[in-house]
């Protein structure tokens, strides 16, 4: 595994999955080039250097995990696996148990190479992009982490929250009301004080994966979880103004406080969101007053801007969700699970697909209902699709064939209402948003053979896997 972002980038360069782009404009070109390259599939990791108006060495990295091999690399999985096999590998890692390993505090680290406080603080020191054409500003935090400490319980939360720059010393951090960071901040505000926070803008892949893993329960520090995921403790230093634990090998760290909303707010957004829309618009949120900036020599901004392509802005989060759901189904004693997938092209949260060998009446629907309630897949889900064991859930053609030939719309579709969502959901009407109603509905679609006459269902013309294997072996020279 990797100690920092640089080790990961160096390994990607060694594997031939790396490209340097020099001279791009931070305002119009970095975000567009990121999107164009990712849309072609299996995009190389991009490093932007000599950004317009900035010196060589002040860099931006994007498309870090936009290939199956780099997803596997970042999660410590075999590099030769893809599709369902990649989910299986991560499921096995989860099932084996991720034993928390607490961080260790060290005296110093590379992030201390440059420390700016007071008048030296300048958020515009870095080539922060405007990631999408209609974004309301420059977002230094997309592949970032926000670090806070619960004022009552004392545990440290590390979450992935976006950060917009407003002026040299002021930013905003958007945290949805249900996120742990927001709950912690409100505890401080209720006491009439600001919430101390540190934001990292580039860190090792496993730590970043831990910061947005679903689910890490309330009260469990993501540093501990990430240490378990990595198999070694995260090295942290004590923040210079907040005292919060900060990754010693982070690229850039912003320290300060999120003031109570009655003290100061700034207009955050709009920002292109996970579903591929500007759904939440602008909003007044509390200001993040930056009191210190720490950064390495030749710093790298980690760029994971939201996109309708999850691989642009996550570390295989669709793989994570599928693996956790698969493990949860089996943990609850659901037999016959052959595979689980999140359809990447449908945006990250929308469509889990479960492949199952039906054993009893209601088996398929039971699996679907667990998916609706699972912490990893219940948020923002639109359609939960269950298919038979002969369908590869990671193959969209297979899934569409099952939907088109095995789904009776009259009897095989159910609607579940009142599921957890948020205002980034583009299908919620402005009227509902105005009174704070962001819940939504999801459909369960049983795209599988009816259980009561499954043995009489017409045989498929697809050749059996065994015959396919035999023919492939015989004709391997031409295939």
- Return d(Cα 219, Cα 207) in angstroms, integer: 17
Give yes or no for residue 309 having a pLDDT over 80.
no
The pLDDT tens digits for 208-258 are 999 988 778 899 999 999 999 999 999 999 999 999 999 999 999 999 999
Residues 173, 118 contacting (CB under 8 angstroms): no
Mean pLDDT of the chain: 94
Give yes or no for residue 46 having a pLDDT over 90.
yes
Q: Is 58 helix (H, G, I), strand (E, B) or coil?
A: coil
Across 42-51, 151-160, 269-278, least confident range: 269-278
The pLDDT tens digits for 236-245 are 999 999 999 9
Whether residue 222 is preceded by a cis peptide bond, meaning omega within 30 degrees of 0, is no
Mean pLDDT (whole number) for 157-180:
95
Which of 427, 318, 429, 442 lies closest to 378 in space, CA to CA?
442
Q: How many CB atoms lie within 10 A of CB 190?
A: 10
Angle between the N-to-C axes of helices 68-75 and 5-14, in degrees from 0 to 180, rounded to the nearest 10: 140
Half-sphere exposure for 148 (CA within 13 Å, toward CB)? 28
Q: What is the pLDDT of residue 428?
A: 83
Give yes or no for residue 138 having a pLDDT over 90.
yes
The domain made up of 98-312 has a fold known as Pnp Oxidase; Chain A (2.30.110)
- pTM, whole model, 2 decimals? 0.91
Residues 57, 49 contacting (CB under 8 angstroms): yes
Mean pLDDT (whole number) for 408-429:
88
Give yes or no for residue 64 having a pLDDT over 80.
yes
Mean pLDDT (whole number) for 135-156:
97
Q: Is 277 helix (H, G, I), strand (E, B) or coil?
A: coil
Residues 236, 248 contacting (CB under 8 angstroms): yes
Instruction: Outline where DSSP puts E strands in 209-264.
Output: 235-238, 245-247, 252-258
Mean pLDDT (whole number) for 107-136:
97
Give yes or no for residue 320 having a pLDDT over 80.
yes
The answer to whether domain 316-470 has CATH 3.40.710.10 is: no
Give yes or no for residue 311 having a pLDDT over 80.
no
Half-sphere exposure for 278 (CA within 13 Å, toward CB)? 13
Give yes or no for residue 285 having a pLDDT over 80.
yes
Bridge-based pairing of strands 45-49 and 59-62 is: antiparallel
The pLDDT confidence band at residue 414, using thresholds 50, 70 and 90, is very high
Give yes or no for residue 85 having a pLDDT over 80.
yes
Give yes or no for residue 42 having a pLDDT over 90.
no
Q: Is 237 helix (H, G, I), strand (E, B) or coil?
A: strand
Q: What is the pLDDT of residue 429?
A: 85
Mean pLDDT (whole number) for 310-326:
88
Q: What is the pLDDT of residue 50?
A: 98
Mean pLDDT (whole number) for 83-98:
90
Residues 408, 447 contacting (CB under 8 angstroms): no
Domain segments of the chain: what residues? 98-312, 316-470
CA distance readout (Å), 346 to 73, 352, 381: 24, 10, 10
Give yes or no for residue 150 having a pLDDT over 80.
yes
Which of 345, 350, 348, 358 lies closest to 391 in space, CA to CA?
358
Bridge-based pairing of strands 104-105 and 235-238 is: parallel
- Return d(Cα 35, Cα 58) in angstroms, integer: 21
Residues 421, 379 contacting (CB under 8 angstroms): yes
Q: What is the pLDDT of residue 86?
A: 94
Q: Which residue has the higher pLDDT, 174 or 276?
A: 174
Q: What is the pLDDT of residue 370?
A: 96
Mean pLDDT (whole number) for 310-324:
87
Mean pLDDT (whole number) for 39-54:
91
For the chain, give the number of residues: 479
- Return d(Cα 388, Cα 7) in angstroms, integer: 42
Q: Ramachandran region of residue 316, left (φ > 0), alpha (ψ -120 to 50) or beta? A: left
Encode 148-169: b = buried (16+ Cβ within 10 Å), e = exposed.
bbbeeeeebbbbbbbbbbbeeb
Residues 322, 342 contacting (CB under 8 angstroms): yes
Whole-number percent of the chain with pLDDT over 70: 100
CA angle 448, 453, 455 (to 5 degrees): 85
- Return d(Cα 284, Cα 277) in angstroms, integer: 19
The pLDDT tens digits for 341-397 are 999 888 888 999 999 999 999 999 999 999 999 988 988 899 999 999 999 999 999
Across 136-150, 158-172, 337-351, least confident range: 337-351
CA distance readout (Å), 194 to 148, 222, 259, 289, 454: 11, 22, 4, 10, 61
- Return d(Cα 293, Cα 163) in angstroms, integer: 14
């Amino acid at each position: 595994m990797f100690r920092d972002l640089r080790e990961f980038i160096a390994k990607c360069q060694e594997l031939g999955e790396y490209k340097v782009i020099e001279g791009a404009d931070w305002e119009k070109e970095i975000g567009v080039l990121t999107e164009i390259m990712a849309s072609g599939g299996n995009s190389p990791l991009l490093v932007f250097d000599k950004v317009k108006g900035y010196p060589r060495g002040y860099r931006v990295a994007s498309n870090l995990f936009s290939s199956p091999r780099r997803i596997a690399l970042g999660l410590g999985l075999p590099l030769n696996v893809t599709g369902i096999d990649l989910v299986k590998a991560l499921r096995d890692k989860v099932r084996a148990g991720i034993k928390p390993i607490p961080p260790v505090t060290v005296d110093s680290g590379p992030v201390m190479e440059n420390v700016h406080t007071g008048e030296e603080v300048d958020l515009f020191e870095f080539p922060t992009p405007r990631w999408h054409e209609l974004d309301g500003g420059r977002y230094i935090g997309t592949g970032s982490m926000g670090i806070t400490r619960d004022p009552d319980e004392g545990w440290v939360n590390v979450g992935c929250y976006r950060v917009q720059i407003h002026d040299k010393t002021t930013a905003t951090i958007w945290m949805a009301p249900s996120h742990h960071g927001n709950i912690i901040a409100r505890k401080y505000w209720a006491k009439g004080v600001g919430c101390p926070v540190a934001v990292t803008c580039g860190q090792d892949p496993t730590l970043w994966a831990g910061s947005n893993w679903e689910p890490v329960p309330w009260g469990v520090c993501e540093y501990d979880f990430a240490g378990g995921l990595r198999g070694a403790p995260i090295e942290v230093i004590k923040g210079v103004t907040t005292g919060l634990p900060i990754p010693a090998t982070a690229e850039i760290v912003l320290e300060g406080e999120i003031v109570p909303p009655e003290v100061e707010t700034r207009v955050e957004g709009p920002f292109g969101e996970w579903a591929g829309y500007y759904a939440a618009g602008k909003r007044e949120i509390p200001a993040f007053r930056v009191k210190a900036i720490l950064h390495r020599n030749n710093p790298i901004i980690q760029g994971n801007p939201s996109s309708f392509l999850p691989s642009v802005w996550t570390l295989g989060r669709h793989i994570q969700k599928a693996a956790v759901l698969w493990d949860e189904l089996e943990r609850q004693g659901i037999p016959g699970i052959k595979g689980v997938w999140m359809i990447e092209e449908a945006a990250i949260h929308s469509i889990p697909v479960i492949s199952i060998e039906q054993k009893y009446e209601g088996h398929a629907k039971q699996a679907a209902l667990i998916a609706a309630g699972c912490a990893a897949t219940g948020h923002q889900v639109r359609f939960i699709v269950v298919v038979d064991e002969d369908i590869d859930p990671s193959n969209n053609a297979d899934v569409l064939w099952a939907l088109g030939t095995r789904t009776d719309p009259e009897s095989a579709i159910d609607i579940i209402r009142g599921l957890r969502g948020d205002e980034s959901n583009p299908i919620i009407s402005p009227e509902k948003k105005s009174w704070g109603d962001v819940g939504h509905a999801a459909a369960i679609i049983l795209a599988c053979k009816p259980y009561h006459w499954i043995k009489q269902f017409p045989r498929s013309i697809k050749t059996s896997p065994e015959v396919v294997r035999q023919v492939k072996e015989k004709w391997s020279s031409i295939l």
